[in-house]
Each structure stands twice: as C-alpha cells, then as structure tokens.
Amino acid sequence: MDRTQRRTLPLSSTQKLTLTTVLKQHFKHALLMEADVRAVLTKYHGLTMGLNYRGEDVVLNLRGTLPFTFQNNTYHCPLVISMTKYYPMTPPLFKVVTSGNIRIVSNHNCVAKNGNIKIPYVESWNSRSTLMEAIRSIQEIFDSSAPIYTVEPVYSKPALPVGKVAIRSGKPDIPTSPKTVGTSNLDSDAGGSLRTHDSNCGYLRKQLDAVAEKIGAQMSLERAQLIAEYQFDVMKFDLHKLIMMDWVTMCADLAAALKAQTEDREKLDRILAESEEQLRTLESINDYFDRALAALKKVKELKDAANSNGGEDGTNDRENAAQRFKIRFASPADEKLCRAIAAETASDEMLEVLQSTFKRKQVTTKQYIQYVRIISSKKFHAMHTRRTLTSILKQRE
C-alpha cells in the first residue's frame, strides 16, 4: 500500500502523547514512523511501545506477542521489533524472544538460532515498504511453520494450559493500581529507615530494593483486577508500571543529585571567596596606580612651571641638548634595525615584569594571557624586522 494513501488510525490519549511528542523529539521521519506505529498498535494489542537509549541514539521497540495460527490453533509468539531514528529509510529489526520454557525451532526457514527474523520483504525494503506489511509477511510464514515450541518447566508450579507448539498467550506484565499499593506499609517499613540512614548508601540501596520487591509482589496479585480497571488499555498499563517501579530508583537518584548539588554549592562558595580576595588585590593595585598618577601629575605641573619661568633661554638649552645627544645613522635601514632591536629588548623586559606581576597574583589569568599575546605579537614583529634587515645588510657588505 502506498504510504501516501495510509489512513491515520485512532489511539488513546496516552498513545497519542507518546507517539506525537516522543517521536518528533528523537526521530527524523517522525510522521511516517508515527503512522506505522499507530496502525500496528491499533491492530495488535499484544504489542507495547518503549524507547531504548543507546548513548546519543534512541531506538523505538515494539515488544510483546504476535498471534499466528498453526494447525487451526492460535498461538502468540513473543518478539520485539526495533526501529532506529532512520526509519523508514532503513528496515526494522525483528527478533523472537525466548524465556522460561519457550524455545526456538531448530533450522527454521526465517528465524535464526539467536532469534533474529529474516524474511524477503524486509531484505528488499524500499520507500514503499511498511511495518504493517512486514508483520503480515511474518505471520504468513509462522502460520505455515511455527517458530517456537515449549518444554517442561524445571520448577514445580501449576502450569497454564498451552497448545501444541507455543505459548501461553499473554499481555505484558500488568502494573499495580495506586489504590492497592500500601503506602502506609511502605512508609512504616522503609520511610523511617531512609530518614535515619540517609548517609549510608549501602543501607539505603537495600531498603529501596526491599520496597521495589513489595511493589512487584502486589502488582502480580492485582493484575487481573487492573486489567478490568484500565479497560485493557495496554499503554496505560505500561505507563503505570513504569511509574510504580521507577519511583524507587528515582529516590536514590534524587539523593545523589542533592548530594552533588551540595558539593557544587560548596565549590562555588570557595570560588567566590577566591574572587573576592582577587578583587581586594586589584583594588589595592588600583589605589597604588592612582597615587602614582597623582605624583606624576604633580611633577608635570612643576616642570611646566619651571619651563614657563625659563623662557626662550630654557627652550634654546633644550634644543642644544637634543642636538648633542641626537644619534645619526648611516642609512634608514640601520635606523630601522636599531629600533627593531630596541623593541625586541623592551618586549623581553615587559614579559619578565608581567610574569613577576602574575606570580604575585596582581593580575588575573585572563588578563595575563591577553597581555602575553599583545607583547608576544610585538616581539615577533620586531624579531622578524631585525632578521630581515640583518640579512639585507649582510648582502650589501
């Protein structure tokens, strides 16, 4: 069937929330995947949807049982269907899941020993292929050749009636109801212990495991009642199961998060104290430079006053002194070479002063790196000029 002709099938509000919100968040072709998944979940009520996080990648799994008819008897084969974020550009993966007394038939024509299912429809997957048609192809093969069989259990428990080939039919495990979970018992058994021994991680973990075990036991006892309460809505069953089973580990995760938050707060307090100390150092440096600038300003004022009193005689004396100390170069290249050597030497001295200032913690690391880059750039320019002019002068000689 053409993908453009596929009809959108109605689902429950929980399924719509999962398919529309989660798929658009993690998968590239969310609309096409949503149409396929919704159609399959509507027809095959034994399948439930779940997400498997593998690092940065997310895999959507449809897990449960697939019905097939073998020798006029209906059986349910446990399997899982996996779809990556590139679906439907890449085909889904089908795998038969064995557990308990269920085994895979040897030398099956499409099911390998490890459970992987290979059929021609999936191997020739293209843009028009759909998940529904792939499942139908698998059902047709299973109808003619059953993929699994049952063996006698090794433990002595009343066994449910099974067919010739496989399998007790089954819905996934049903979560318990919030009404029947004994919150008072849980509080009396574990609450006080958790508050008393919250610093002991090993003891806390044991208490949480004990609570999880009690919840699991009550879920098994209440399963038949819950099926009727939730009107056989598989997604509601799974959602409730996740809530009831995950809250125990969430308590441990919350305790770890609070501990990490406390450590981060202490670290930030230490950093704040160090920053305040550096601020006080910078303020003292600022005061020093203010006093130095004030002294220089006063010296300049005295100098200007002396120059104004000296008149033209003072000006002539300064000009004569400048003429006596003026350096004459043989060529402009010699003058540039001398200036380059002076700039390179000055850069070295400035780097030494900056390094000693940084060791005394009078400048921050960011300022130190910034000044080093500026001075190093000037030094490199002067060094390059010196080497170039030296080479030119040697050639002239």
161: in domain: no
Q: How far, in Å, CA of 266 to CA of 257, rounded?
A: 14
181: in domain: no
Q: How far, in Å, CA of 218 to CA of 175, rounded?
A: 9
> Hey, what's the torsion of the CAs at 39, 44, 49, 55, to 10 degrees?
-80
Q: Tell me, what DSSP letter sits at residue 5?
A: G
Confidence of residue 18 (pLDDT cuts 50, 70, 90): low
| Pair (49, 88) in one structural domain | yes
Q: Measuring CA to CA, which residue among 287, 290, 276, 284 is closest to residue 360?
A: 284
Task: For residue 317, give the amino acid letter.
Answer: D
Residue 101 contacts residue 83 (beta carbons within 8 Å):
no
192: in domain: no
Q: Can you read off the two tokens belonging to residue 336? A: 């540039």
38: in domain: yes
Confidence of residue 312 (pLDDT cuts 50, 70, 90): low
pLDDT at position 395: 79
| Domain boundary pick from 150, 175, 191 | 150
| pLDDT, tens digit (0-9, with 9 covering 90-100), for 121-135 | 999 988 888 899 999
Q: Measuring CA to CA, which residue among 37, 48, 107, 5 is closest to residue 236?
A: 48
> How are beta strands 93-96 and 102-104 bridged, if at all?
unpaired
| Pair (103, 206) in one structural domain | no
Q: Can you read off the two tokens belonging to residue 108? A: 């099956």
Q: Measuring CA to CA, which residue among 140, 40, 138 is closest to residue 83?
A: 40
Total domain count, the chain:
3
Q: How far, in Å, CA of 194 to CA of 304, rounded?
A: 81
Vertex 283, ends 282 and 287: CA angle to 5°?
A: 115
Longest dimension (CA), the chain: 128
| Pair (141, 258) in one structural domain | no
Q: Tell me, what DSSP letter sits at residue 145?
A: S
Vertex 316, ends 311 and 322: CA angle to 5°?
A: 135
252: in domain: yes
Place of tokens 């809505």: 233
Confidence of residue 94 (pLDDT cuts 50, 70, 90): very high
Burial of 341 (0-12, 13-18, 19+ CB in 10 A): middle
pTM: 0.38
| Pair (25, 141) in one structural domain | yes
Domain with 386, as residue range(s), is 329-395
| pLDDT, tens digit (0-9, with 9 covering 90-100), for 154-190 | 544 444 444 333 333 333 333 333 333 333 343 434 4
pLDDT at position 170: 38
Confidence of residue 238 (pLDDT cuts 50, 70, 90): low
